[in-house]
Amino acid sequence: MKKYISFFRLRFSMGLQYRTAAAAGVVTQFFWGVMEILVYRAFYEADAAAFPMRFEAVVTYIWLQQAFLAVFGAWIMESEIFDAIRDGNIAYELCRPVSIYQMWFSRTVANRTSKAVLRCVPILAVAALLPAPYGLTLPESGLHFGLFLLTLVLGLLVIVAFTLLVYIVTFYTISPDGVRIFFTSAVEFFAGAVIPLPFFPEKLRYVMELLPFAAMQNVPLRIYSGSMTEAEMLRAIYLQAFWLAVLTGLGWGLCRRAERRVTVQGG
């Protein structure tokens, strides 16, 4: 376990060095958040009663989404892992006395966490200072905030487990581009990154909430914004734990199989 903690620390420290890129990301994400909020504002002024979430809840959802974009962004993957598999350099990794799956898992968690640490504080600070109803609001209660932190961690682990599946599938393909594009598109749509899930028709939303994508950013952002009942929150947390176990087990098994039957195509 110590070696995987070391992988996490090294990758986390490396990620904290990219401060200029983080500053550019903060500016971009802040203005993107403002644009989204203004679009929703136009719809709510037309007929606020037609929407399933309060406008203040939607605003909070958007600010949290932008603040933790590095945690839940489906496109955030390590190109060096894809390159190692495609070019054959993965053979060097196979010679090391480590589990590739655990090493990649710790590195991916560290990569996303370090990016989020640099970006979330300034975005949340500025959003909290904006006047109502355009600013970030406080959670409904201390319980909501505690569950938000819990589900934030679970959501991070779920998307990391899903990301590792994309890496592992690359063992069986010549190019990862198609799988990567499909994965990114599916997550962005079904996780509530484009439109919050409560805005979908009820029957469709019920199905979408059962999928692993909803266990990512949808759960923590909705819990914080107060758009879930207690029963819905408990159900969502159970589903997060379930999908984390399923995706991790599936990824571990496929990775072990790939290690035994891998064919190096380059290098």
Ranges 47-56, 112-121, 150-159, 252-261: which has the least confidence: 252-261
C-alpha 63/C-alpha 34 separation (Å) is 9
pLDDT tier for residue 265 given thresholds of 50, 70 and 90: low
pLDDT tier for residue 216 given thresholds of 50, 70 and 90: very high
Find out whether 63 and 172 touch, Cβ atoms under 8 Å: no
pTM over 0.75: yes
Q: Which of the pair, 267 or 195, is modelled with greater confidence?
A: 195
Please write the tens of the pLDDT for every residue from 135-148: 999 998 889 999 99
pLDDT tier for residue 184 given thresholds of 50, 70 and 90: confident
Token pair in block for residue 208: 């979408």
Would you say residue 19 has pLDDT above 70? Answer: yes
Please write the tens of the pLDDT for every residue from 41-77: 999 998 888 888 999 999 999 999 999 999 998 888 8
C-alpha 133/C-alpha 40 separation (Å) is 12
Please write the tens of the pLDDT for every residue from 188-207: 899 988 899 999 998 999 99
- Burial of 168 per CB tally in 10 Å (0-12, 13-18, 19+): buried
Max Cα–Cα distance, the chain, nearest Å: 62
Would you say residue 25 has pLDDT above 60? Answer: yes
> In the prediction, which pLDDT does 106 show?
93
Would you say residue 158 has pLDDT above 80? Answer: yes
What percent of the chain has a predicted confidence (pLDDT) above 70?
Answer: 97
Q: In whole numbers, what is the pLDDT of the chain averaged over residues?
A: 88
> In the prediction, which pLDDT does 156 show?
95
Please write the tens of the pLDDT for every residue from 235-251: 999 999 999 999 999 99
Find out whether 198 and 52 touch, Cβ atoms under 8 Å: yes
> In the prediction, which pLDDT does 261 show?
67
Cα–Cα–Cα angle for 111, 159, 151, rounded to 5 degrees: 100
- Sequence-ordered list of residues with C-beta below 8 angstroms from that of 224, at least 6 positions apart, any chain: 60, 61, 64, 139, 144, 145, 148
Find out whether 161 and 251 touch, Cβ atoms under 8 Å: yes
Token pair 């406080």 is found at: 138
> In the prediction, which pLDDT does 209 show?
93
Residue range 89-100: mean pLDDT, rounded: 77
Would you say residue 123 has pLDDT above 60? Answer: yes
Token pair 């560290």 is found at: 110
